[in-house]
Each structure stands twice: as structure tokens, then as C-alpha cells.
Amino acid sequence: MSDKLSKVKEILGEVFDLNRAAAVLGWDQQVNMPPGGAEARGQQLATLGKIAQEKFISDEVGSLLEDLKKEFSDTETDEGAMIRVAARNYDKARRVPPEFIAEQALAATKAIEAWVEAKGKSDFSIFRPHLEKNLELIKKYVSFFPPAAHPYDVLLDDYEPGLPTAEVREIFDNLRPKQVALIKAIGGAKQIKSDFLQKPLNEKKIWDFSERVIAEFGYDFKRGRQDKAPHPFETTFSVNDVRITNRYEKSEPLATLFSAMHECGHALYELGGNPAYERTPLAGGASLAVHESQSRMWENLVGRSLPFWQHFYPDLKKTFPSQLDGVNVKSFYKAINKVKPSFIRVNADEATYNLHIMLRLEIEIGMVEGSIEVKDLPEIWNAKMRDYLGITPPDDAQGVLQDIHWSYGAIGYFSTYALGNIISAQLWEKINREIKNLEEQIRKGQFAELREWLRVNLHQYGHKYDPRDLVRRVTGQDIDPAAYVRYLTKKYTDVYGL
Amino acid sequence: MSDKLSKVKEILGEVFDLNRAAAVLGWDQQVNMPPGGAEARGQQLATLGKIAQEKFISDEVGSLLEDLKKEFSDTETDEGAMIRVAARNYDKARRVPPEFIAEQALAATKAIEAWVEAKGKSDFSIFRPHLEKNLELIKKYVSFFPPAAHPYDVLLDDYEPGLPTAEVREIFDNLRPKQVALIKAIGGAKQIKSDFLQKPLNEKKIWDFSERVIAEFGYDFKRGRQDKAPHPFETTFSVNDVRITNRYEKSEPLATLFSAMHECGHALYELGGNPAYERTPLAGGASLAVHESQSRMWENLVGRSLPFWQHFYPDLKKTFPSQLDGVNVKSFYKAINKVKPSFIRVNADEATYNLHIMLRLEIEIGMVEGSIEVKDLPEIWNAKMRDYLGITPPDDAQGVLQDIHWSYGAIGYFSTYALGNIISAQLWEKINREIKNLEEQIRKGQFAELREWLRVNLHQYGHKYDPRDLVRRVTGQDIDPAAYVRYLTKKYTDVYGL
């Protein structure tokens, strides 16, 4: 191996270790930390972040990468891909001054606090100046980069490398009318009974049930664990230590199960990574959208399918006999797939979810290009909700204030959720062409072939390919909503007898 | 504040954060980590350690400290004390080459593995070459430092700064005959019934009981937590996040309670630190011995005292009515203070414990000065056991192989346990002179005045004073076993009616 390559790998390996250490500290903060630990933890995370950044953006790394780009110009090789990804990250990191990062972090801390208060009181005016500040900083961030076709491209690129705003808009413009039409058709169909889903469940029993399910999916508890936290998330400490969190909410007792499947989907992606990529920039997932395609696949395409419940429903019914008394598997399946336009994105069903995302993308683009002002957000939000979903949020807590993302300055993130749904359906069609009896396997509780297909065709590539490129390699198609529309239409035709 | 002072504090603060981050990773490793995480965790810890070391031993830190030593020469001030401690740590760290540290870490990893196997098979020959290697490295380590009165001084100084071997020997030589005589007297007294202590207890109930007790001691669960781990330990993430671990062993059901009190003693020391010392070398405890004085005080001087049980026994008896049926508080008190020479240090009672330590100290000194060869250890160990405790270990697993310390190269550590016992009794006499009704307070379950006394007189000073100096400041005495002998004599006169 070239001396320069081994030198850069050594430095990047240390940066990697620092980031993984920070992940452990972040996980502990959510899962275990007593309240007293908060102040020092913030300091520890800031120090780890600062040192990782300093190590990464050194002139030494820059000149090593410059030389290595010539030596390893074939990006089909792992070395070439690693240098490509590292050089791109390096270029981005060098453009943003450390003082700016500190300023943004400080503004975010204050804005998160204001957002919590604003949401609690359902008063947008408390959050408004902070969002204006965050937006100003976001515009400044964009200014550090070379002009793009659209300023939003710079932001999106941090989450979906290489995917331009225009393409996402085109995808969404294509999808929107079909999803709106579907929802309208469902609205005219006979409505589904689902009140039994709200009956409280024994917390430990649904938790244990969720662990039985993800263990059958192939989540290996010798290489991970599920802990309680305020919000479900997946976090990676190494390719052999990938953890998930979950919670139980009285108002949504089955969410514990669907969240476990969702986070398990993320975890299987990370666990399926190529061990040779550890401590290099190729470790991890290709992008947020591709990651989300995995979580949504296990949660929805598998976990809300009839074959899945034909396998698991007897166990669920045995676990909760009184709650499910008189409910057969088909009624249960219909209930968990009930469509109802609602205010809150995270609780939205599959038919309406993407519309919540489109609304946010349009507002974000408008804010970044200056066509939408922060002060007008509540009104614009509510108008779009009426337009897409036919409902008006009763207050801003259930409207424009519902998501945390903008408070910590994450603009450019939301569309990845919808793109994940779209990609999951494209992958699903491809998989079903290659695993002919997949439905039958799922009906028998067999997930090994599906999981292995995903590992071999997708997971093992980590960051090697950009998301657009990866989707094309795996499915032979560009990112395209047609498969998702087919999936939704088929499912709801069945569920609602359209 | 001087520019140089703020610069050095900034660097030392980052080193501190890295070490605390490593503590979080180490805790997770013991408490939560799935087996798959082990390899990467070792790498992450190595990276954090390496970066902390690099940052600390830089020429810049050296020249800053050199200048600051002159500017802040009054070590009675916090700044002066901080510079003194930092400069001493710096001098030590600079003397040891990083490659040597790596070599020692590697040897330790192999030796720990060999020790586990050797102990499992009770076969010293498996461990012997590794201990010989560790000893060779320890001698090399000593050679990096200026010649001391005794080579063992260099090792001891890492645990008890400023305390020479000759002084520890003198303390132990003074104590040994008195402890041996006491044990002999006890051996001639009427023996105590304690079989009820071996009855199994409900794990959750004894765990909860232990948490009730330490909460009354003042352990604040908003600034800490108790988790399950293979071995009990205390670890500090910040002055407001100090955690302890514990376990339940069927063979020793009450050990859960005494371990909780022991680790709580360590934790109260850390929680009582001066918040202004955070992120400086003054944070933490003065030394291992002083730390152990706190754990042993809460475990033994408080937790195995009659007044303590006069308060807590009714609750214990209510919690475990069948196990304690027919046992009154005095019988219980006697049983938990039963003296019986035994093979295993960690299970030893207060009367015999220090003899286990003395044996180890003599062997360590002999190994380091070359008067004892590793190959002869089992024989020497057993001879000393007969000499001090009148018993012969049936095998090496219960003899020379019982402790992990030598396998990871920790030579110089053991005496701190006995010194902790000694210091705890000196502090106890002082406290009882100042808090006249302490016994009565304990009998009422009141621990606040004791805890506050310890915080004000001891805990808040952190690393500011060296252990010898600190003991002199707090008690007006040198480290001296007389108080400990008085304590043991009084207790066992009562327990055994000597």
C-alpha cells in the first residue's frame, strides 16, 4: 500500500474513532445520563467534534488527498472511492470556518430551547426570531460554496450527495397528483374500524414482542441492543455494535412495534456494511434517503403487509388476547393501514406521509431562495395543508411548529424521508423479481434471503456510491416514484376495495 | 487571568474531556456493550488515549508550564496547585516513550488473557512467562525515572504521590503484629453463627434496598446511577455525573449491599469535588488510598456498625422476613463482622484484610528489587499465607492467581487498599471529635452532617494536596495505623467479647 494512502488512512481512522466515541456519548445522553451530566457532556462532545475537525481539515490531509486522487483515480476500486469521498468531504469541511460552526451550534442551542417553549405554548412568535437567525446562517453557509443551479442544491447535497434540487422537485411533482388522487379515492370508500388499536398494551409485553420480531428479521443482539429513549433512533458504534432505541406511548401502543422494525431496518443496513470499510469514509450508508429506504422497507413493505401478519398475528393475539378479541388478521391488517389525513407527519400513514414532506420541501426552498418569509410560515403552512390534505391545523403546535429539524438548523433534510419511501418501492420490485416466492417466505416468517439480498446488493457498498448512482446500479432505474405509486395503489385497492 | 494560564487550561481541558469521554466508553464496555463491540471499542479507546497523550506532552504545554511555575509559585493557591500537579504529571508523561506504552498495553492484553486461562485451570505456569514479561517492562519503566531510594518508590508514586516505600513498610511493620495478635485472640473466642447470611435473597429486593441505603447516605440519583456490571466500580464523567456499578452473587447475597455502600463512598468523594476544578488536573481524589478511605468508611465504619443496623435492620428484616427469621440486630451485626482467615482478599473481613495486602506488597517489592523470582511465587505466597493467616491455599487459583492486577501490569497498587483502611480510621477519630453525637445521628439514619464534614474537610480539595499532606492537614497526624488498631480492637472486643 502506498505510504501516503496508509498515512491518510491512519488520520481518517482517528477521526472516525473520535466520531464513533462521540456517538457513544450521544447515545448515553439519550439513554442513561442523569440530568446532572448534561453540562459536561455538551463540553465533551464539543471537544471531540473540534479535535476531529482539526485533524481532518489539516493541510497535511489536504495535500495527501490531492496526491492520492491522482494515484487512485479509478473510483470503482475501494481505494479510489475512499479517496473520492474523503476529498469531497474535505473540500466541504475546509470551506466552512470553525468559528461559523461554533456560531451555528450556539444559535441552534438557543433555537432548540425557544422551539420547545414555542411548541409547548403553540406560539410561533417565540420561535420566529430564532428561525430567522438559523435561516440567515444557512444562507451564509450556502455562500461558502461555489454557486449552484439553485442555492438549495448546496444544502441537499449534504444529505443526498449529487442529487440536485430540480430532480427532487420533478420526482415530487410527478408523485403529488397521484397521491392526492389516491387519498381522494380512499376518502370515498367505506371507512375502516381501528379503535382496538388504541387499547393500552402491557409495555413489557409489546417491547418483548418487538424484540422477537426484529430478532427474526435478523437483528443480532450480540451485535446490538434496544434501549429506552425519549425518541427512537439508530446509532452505530462499529459494524458489530449497532444500537437502536425505542419508547412506549400510551396514545400509540403499537408504535413500539413499528418503531422497532423501522430502526431495525436502519440497523441491518449498518450491520451489513463491509467490515473492510471500518475506520474509513466508506463505512455507513450511502445517504439519508437510502438509509430511510431500508427502515421504511422493514417497517412498511414488510411490517405492514398481509403475509407478515399472517405469520405474526397468532403470536400477537396470544400476547394480547383481550385487546384483540374478535379481531381477525384481515381486520387487523386493514386497521394498521388505515388512511386518514392528519396534522402530524410522524404519525401519518403511508398514503399521506409524502405530502407532509412535499409541503416542507416547498417551504424550505422558498425560504432559502427568499420567496417565502419566516413571518408568513404559519399561514403558508396551513394553506398548503388544506390544499394537499384537506385539513387545517387547529394551532401551530400541530402545524408549523411540530418538527424539531429547523430549530437545529437542518434545512435540506426532510425530502430524504419521501425519497426513502420512493426508493424502498423501487428496490422492492427488483427484489420480488429476483426472489420469486418472497411473499411466501414472509408468510412463513423467513427473512434471511431478503436480508442477504439487501446486504449483498446494497448494504455492503456503504458510502462507495452516491445515492443516485447506487439506485441505478441496484435497480437499473433513476429515482422514480412509479413503483411507489404502484405499491400504494395495489395496497389500498386491497385494503379499501377501491 | 494570564494568557499562558488560560492557554494551558484550554489544552488541559481538552485532555480532560478526552479522558472523560474514554471513561464513558469504558463504562459502556462493562455495562452495556454487546460482545460484537469489543474490537472497535479497544481501537476507540486507544485512539482517545493516544490523542490525549499527544496533546498533553507537547512541547507547547511543557514550556507553558515551565513559565507558569514561576508565575504561580504559591501552591496554596488553586492556580499554583494546578500548575504543580500538571507539571509533575507532565514530567512523568514525558519520560515514558509512547512506543513503550504501546508495548506495555500489548503485553497486558496478552497477560490478561493468559491470567484468565491460568486462573481457570489453576495453573501458574500458564501465567508465569507473561508475568515475567510484565515485570521486565515494569523494571524498564522504573529506569525512565531518576534513581529513587528504592526502585519501588517510582511505582508507588504513580498511585500515592509523594509517599515513599520505606514509609509504607514502616506503617505496615507497625500494624502487622497487632493485627496478627488480634486475629489470634479472636480465634480463641467463642465463634459466631452466620449461616443465615448465605441464604439467597431476591435480587431485585436487595438491589432496591442497597439503593435506599445509598440514597440516605446522600448519593444523588440525579447526578449518578447504579448499573449492573461483572465487577463493582465507580467512574466519573463529571462532578455532576458519577456512576457506580454493582452485581448480585448467589454465593454472597449481601455483597450487593456492601458493594453499593463501598462504591457510594467513592462516588460521594467525586460528587463532593470543587466544581471550579472541573476540566483541570485538580479534579478527582487525592490518591487511591484517600479514595479507598472514603469507600471503606461508608462500607465498614458506617455500614458494618451497630448504630447503622439499629436504624436499617427493621427495614432489612421486613424485606427478607424468612431469611432473617429469629435473628435479632445484635446477632446480625455480629454475623456481618465475623472474622475468619480466608484465601481470597476481596472476601476478607476487616481483621484479616490488611494481611492479604502486606503479603502482596512484600512480594511486589521483592520482585522489583530482584530478591524474589516469578517462578517461586506460588511457594512464597503459600508460605506467607501460613505465616500471617495460618492457612494454606488449596490451589493457585485461590492463591497467587486470585487478583487481576499483575496481569495488566499494575504493580504498586495493592498497598493503597490497606492505607485506605488506615486513613479511614484516622479520619473517623477526627470526625467523632468534631461531631460529638455522630453515633446517635447514624442510629437515626442521619448522614448529612457526616457527608458535609467530609465534603468540606476532604472532598472539595480534589488533587490539590498530596495524600500525606492532606491527611496531615485534615487529621493533624501522619499516616499512622494506631487509630485503625484502636478501631479494630474496640469493634472485635464488642463482637467477640474479647
> Which of B47, B222, B236, B279 to mutate against chain A (most A CBs within 10 Å)?
B47
List b or e across A343-365, with b for residues whose CB sees 16 or more CB atoms inside 10 angstroms: bebeebbbbbbbbbbbbbbbbbb
Cβ atoms A286, A467 nearer than 8 A: yes
Tell me which residue in A22, A28, A241 faces B40 most closely, judged by beta carbons. Answer: A241
Cβ atoms B247, B229 nearer than 8 A: yes
Q: How confident is the model at residue B1 (pLDDT cuts 50, 70, 90)?
A: low
Q: Do B240 and A18 touch (CB under 8 A)?
A: no
Model confidence pLDDT, tens digit, residues A6-24: 999 999 999 999 999 999 9
Average pLDDT for B65-94: 97
Contacts of B36 in chain A (CB under 8 A): 220, 222-224, 238, 240-241
Distance in Å, alpha carbon of B300 to nearest chain A alpha carbon: 28
pLDDT of A468: 96
pLDDT of A498: 86
- The catalytic site residues of A sit at 263
Q: What is the pLDDT along chain A (498 residues), one digit of tens a residue?
A: 689 999 999 999 999 999 999 999 999 999 999 999 999 999 999 999 999 999 999 999 999 999 999 999 999 999 999 999 999 999 999 999 988 998 998 899 899 999 999 999 999 999 999 999 999 999 999 999 999 999 999 999 999 999 999 999 999 999 999 999 999 999 999 999 999 999 999 999 999 999 999 999 999 999 999 999 989 999 999 999 999 999 999 989 999 999 999 999 999 999 999 999 999 999 999 999 999 999 999 999 999 999 999 999 999 999 999 999 999 999 999 999 999 999 999 889 999 999 999 999 999 999 999 999 999 999 999 999 999 999 999 999 999 999 999 999 999 999 999 999 999 999 999 999 999 999 999 999 999 999 999 999 999 999 999 999 999 999 999 999 999 999 999 999 999 998
pLDDT of B208: 98
Cβ count within 10 A of residue B370:
10
Tell me which residue in B22, B51, B222 faces A36 most closely, judged by beta carbons. Answer: B222
- The complex scores an ipTM of 0.94
| Residue A127 Cα to chain centre, angstroms | 25
Tell me which residue in A32, A35, A239 faces B222 most closely, judged by beta carbons. Answer: A35
Q: Do B21 and A222 touch (CB under 8 A)?
A: no
pLDDT of A219: 98
Average pLDDT for B257-269: 98
Average pLDDT for B113-131: 96
Model confidence pLDDT, tens digit, residues B285-327: 999 999 999 999 999 999 999 999 999 999 999 999 999 999 9
Tell me how far apart the alpha carbons of residues B468 and B423 are, in angstroms, rounded to a whole number. Answer: 10
pLDDT of A1: 62
pLDDT of B262: 97
| Amino acid (1-letter code) at residue B46 | A
Cβ atoms B118, B126 nearer than 8 A: yes
Contacts of B48 in chain A (CB under 8 A): 17-18, 21
Burial zone of B490 (CB within 10 Å; 0-12 exposed, 13-18 middle, 19+ buried): exposed
Among chain A residues, the shortest Cα distance to B241 is held by A37
Tell me which residue in A18, A37, A222 faces B238 most closely, judged by beta carbons. Answer: A37
Cβ atoms B393, B122 nearer than 8 A: no
pTM of the predicted model, to two decimals?
Answer: 0.95
Mean pLDDT for chain B overall: 96
Q: Do B47 and A18 touch (CB under 8 A)?
A: yes
pLDDT of B255: 95
Burial zone of A444 (CB within 10 Å; 0-12 exposed, 13-18 middle, 19+ buried): exposed
> Which of A11, A15, A28 to mutate against chain B (most B CBs within 10 Å)?
A28
Instruction: Name the 3-class secondary structure at B103.
Output: helix
Q: Do A220 and B51 touch (CB under 8 A)?
A: no
Q: Do A221 and B20 touch (CB under 8 A)?
A: no
Cβ count within 10 A of residue B338:
16
Please name the residues in contact with B141: beta carbons below 8 A apart, sequence gap of 6 or more: B96, B100, B104, B154, B155
> Which of A24, A48, A221, A235 to mutate against chain B (most B CBs within 10 Å)?
A24
Contacts of A273 in chain B (CB under 8 A): none
Which domains are assigned to chain B? Answer: 3-147 (no CATH), 148-498 (1.10.1370.30)
Contacts of A227 in chain B (CB under 8 A): 32
Q: Do A17 and B48 touch (CB under 8 A)?
A: yes
Model confidence pLDDT, tens digit, residues B149-200: 999 999 999 999 999 999 999 999 999 999 999 999 999 999 999 999 999 9
CA dihedral B113, B114, B120, B122 (to 10 degrees): -160
Model confidence pLDDT, tens digit, residues A425-438: 999 999 999 999 99
Tell me how far apart the alpha carbons of residues B311 and B211 are, in angstroms, rounded to a whole number. Answer: 16
Residue B23's closest CA among B38, B41, B11, B35? B41
Beginning with the edge strand found earlier in the chain, give each strand of the sheet holding B234-238 in spatial order: B226-228, B241-246, B234-238
